[in-house]
Structures are given as C-alpha cells and as structure tokens.
Amino acid sequence: MERHARAIAPANIAFIKYWGKKDPILNLPFSHSFSMNLDNAKTTTEITFSPTLQADEGTINGKPLSGEELARTTQFLNSIRERAKVTDFAHIKSTNSFPTAAGIGSSASGFAALTLAGTAALQLKCTEKELSQYARLGSGSASRSIPDGFVEWIAGDSHETSYAVSIAEANHWDLVDLITVVEPDRKKVSTTEGHALAQTSPLFAKRIDELPKRVDAMRTALLEKDFATFGSILEIETWSMHLTTFTALPPMSYISPASLAVMRTLFELRAQDIPAFYTLDAGANVHVITREPYSIQVEKTLRELDGVVDVLPNRPTIGARLLDQEEK
Ligand code: DP6
C-alpha cells in the first residue's frame, strides 16, 4: 500500500537567533528565539511511502537528493517511521517558491513541509507542539515554521520541552522583510558548521549571558509593536551572532562588503525618518525589515545600490499546512 501526502511551509527570518547547539543530535538551542514566517519563501513537499522502494529518494527543485542532504532526510524520516511503526522508504518531491540561487536557507521550510507531509502520510495524529518537535530534529529553525505568524521557539532542555509556539497571528503587525540579495550563490560555510564554530568564540559566553534580557525585550517589542525598540534589538542581536563568526577559531564571516553597504544605507534612510532595520541569518543577503507604509520607498532605494542583485519582499504568513491533491 502506498501512503501519500502533500504540504506547504514557509521559511522564516530569525529576530533573535538560534546560534550554537546545546545538543547537536536533538538540535537543542542555547536560548529562546523569535521569527516571522515569510509569505514569498515557501517549500511544497509531496511524499509517498512505498513498500517497493529500496531506499529513500527524491528531488529538490528537480535535482536528485544525494549525499549529506539525503542522509539528513533519511535520519529525519526514521524518527517518524519509528513512531508509526512503518519501515517503508519514501519518495519525496520538494519545490521551493523562491529561487534556490537566492541564497535563502530552505532547510526551515523544507523540513517543516516534510514533517507535516510525512506525519500525515503515515497517519500520525500529531499536535502542533509535536510537529514542531519533529521539525526541529530535521533542522532547528524548521520548528519555527510550523506555527502561524510571529513565533517563539521555547528552548527547553529535552526533545519534549523544546518546540515553537505562535505569539501573534500574521496580521498582528505590518512588517515587511525586503530580502536584499547580494550573493546569489550557495554560502561557503554551512549553517551546521557555523553552529559548531560559534562556541569556539570568546564572545559566545557573553552572548549567552546577555540573551535572557534581550529575549524578554524582543518579546515585548513584538507584542507591543514598538518598531524603534524592535529595530535596535534586532541589529544588536545581528552583531551578537555575527561577531562570534569573526572571532571563531578559525574565524569566518557570512557578512560581505555588499551586505555592509546595505546596512549603512539604512542609517541614511533613518536620518530621513524612514525606519528600516537589518538582520542577516547565516548568509550575506540582508533582511531589511520595514513597515508597510515605507516598503516601496525602501525597496526602490535598495534596488539602486551597487551590488544588489534582487530585492524579494516578504510579509508575515501562516505556518505549515496540508494541501489537497488539486491545491496549488
Ligand atoms: C542563523 O536551523 O539552519 O538562521 O539545525 O543545523 O539545520 P540546523 O541549523 P538551522 O540554523 C539557523 C541559524 C540561523 C538563525 C536562526 O534561524 O535562528
């Protein structure tokens, strides 16, 4: 018997970052983190478990799954197969709505969609909390792509206590993430390597000390829609993460000269009373966060900059959901 399901899930941008792993097997973070789901960066995943397959297989944007990616997928599927007491292998077809070359991480949307499709195909009745816990096993940040809108990942200290919850619906706040693409190629240092390197930096311990206060301040700013406070915490958090890369052993950086130019342009916009703030995940592309009334002006300014290849506007959206056969 074949078992089939299809799901869609958004990528997310982290406002407080998951950086460094307390447990690299369970992907347990050192701190709570916050994010917003992105409506123009989604992965659609179709999964078919079949008794005739000899191994897991599949494609991402038409390219066969292989190597590390395939190993990670199989490891993840084993956890849900174990719960369902099923041994069938799976065929997976995954498609990203955003250009793969845009350098936007697809592991969050990918594993969130795979979690929902996989558990549905195996007819596991999972709560949102359980889905978030499973998604975390595939990729830490995928735990935050399960709930709706604005999301907090409760760090926890075990598989059961580490999962994400929605703190506000997508329509809570009119934020716009203008993903400013400056480096369309795949990054040289993977996120997983970055997590491991983080703890070699002498600044990492300081970051961990500071985070509880910053986490509370970010939650309040998000809930109260205090954009100026939100923006200043966002930028400090960005440097708190990225300075651990410059000071790691060996040192490295995701930030490029073009990313810096974008960041500095935002200072000029702010001097003209146009509020827009930056953050970067593990890549050179800058997520410029502004509010709806300023979005067109900010996008226009960013597009005119040397080194900017594209600007991809994203708004808050719902989390992962199942799709019917016909649904797009
Ligand atoms: C910088 O979730 O991609 O984007 O658990 O190894 O898959 P793995 O890492 P991943 O790390 C995301 C790091 C980050 C910050 C964040 O999203 O919180």
**Structure confidence by residue, pLDDT tens digits, 43-77:** 999 999 999 999 999 999 999 999 999 999 999 99
Half-sphere exposure of 281 (CA within 13 A, CB side): 27
Cα of 152 vs centre of ligand 1, distance in Å, is 14
Both tokens of 251, joined, read: 């040192």
pLDDT on residue 27: 98
- The residue whose two tokens read 């009745």 is 125
Query: How far apart are the C-alpha atoms of 145 and 104, rounded to whole Å?
Result: 14
Distance CA 146, CA 159 (A): 16
The pLDDT score that the predictor gives to residue 189 is 83
Cα separation of 74 and 269, whole Å?
Answer: 47
Distance 186 CA to ligand 1 centre (A): 15
CB 77 within 8 A of CB 118: yes
- What pLDDT is stored for residue 296 in this prediction? 98
Q: Ligand 1 atom closest to Cα of 105?
A: 3
Q: Are strands 276-279 and 286-291 parallel, antiparallel or unpaired?
A: antiparallel
User: Count of residues for the chain?
Assistant: 328
Question: Please, what is the Cα angle at 76 between 284 and 324, to 5 degrees?
Answer: 90
In the reported structure, the alpha carbon of residue 45 is separated from the centroid of ligand 1 by a whole-number distance in angstroms of 20
Q: How far apart are CA 76 and CA 8, in angstroms?
A: 18
Pairing outcome for strands 175-181 and 310-314: antiparallel
Alpha helices in the chain (DSSP H): 67-84, 107-121, 128-138, 191-198, 203-224, 227-246, 257-271, 295-303
In one-letter notation, the amino acid at residue 271 is A
Which pLDDT does position 167 carry in this prediction? 98
Assess contact for 250 and 194: CB atoms under 8 A: no
Burial of 327 (0-12, 13-18, 19+ CB in 10 A): exposed
Q: What pLDDT, on the 0 to 100 scale, is given for residue 103?
A: 63
**Predicted local distance difference test score (pLDDT) of residue 102:** 62
Instruction: Using the atom order of ligand 1, give the atom closest to the CA of residue 12.
Output: 17
Burial of 66 (0-12, 13-18, 19+ CB in 10 A): exposed
Distance CA 132, CA 20 (A): 19
Nearest CA to 48 out of 114, 83, 3 is that of: 3
Structure tokens at 36: 């917003």
**The predicted structure's pLDDT at residue 120:** 98
Supply 261's token pair: 């130019």
| Site to substitute for ligand 1 among 31, 191, 197, 253, most atoms within 8 A of C-beta | 191
Identify the residue whose C-alpha is closest to ligand 1 atom 12: 141
**Ligand 1 mean position to 138 CA, how many Å?**
11
- Looking up tokens 């930028």, which residue turns up? 235
Q: What are 274-323's pLDDT values in tens digits? A: 999 999 999 999 999 999 999 999 999 999 999 999 999 999 999 999 99
Bridge partners of 46, per DSSP, are 6, 93
Residue nearest (by alpha carbon) to ligand 1 atom 7: 139
Q: How many angstroms is it from 319 CA to the middle of ligand 1? A: 17
Q: Which atom of ligand 1 is nearest to the CA of 21?
A: 5
- The residue ranges of the chain whose pLDDT is under 70 are 100-103, 186-187, 326-328
What are the pocket residues of ligand 1 if the criterion is a CB atom closer than 6 Å to any ligand atom?
A: 14, 17-19, 27, 33, 105, 107, 139-141, 191-192, 195, 281-282
178 φ/ψ angles, rounded to the nearest 5 degrees: -95, 100
Of 190, 281, 286, 287, which is best to mutate to test ligand 1, by the most ligand atoms within 8 angstroms of its C-beta?
A: 281
Tell me, what's the pLDDT at 100?
A: 63
- The identity of residue 81, as a single letter, is R
Could you tell me the distance, in angstroms and rounded to a whole number, from the CA of residue 21 to the centre of ligand 1? 10
- Say how many Å lie between the CA of residue 136 and the centre of ligand 1: 10
Q: Quick one: which atom of ligand 1 is closest to the CA of 139? A: 7
Interval between CA 40 and ligand 1 midpoint (Å): 19
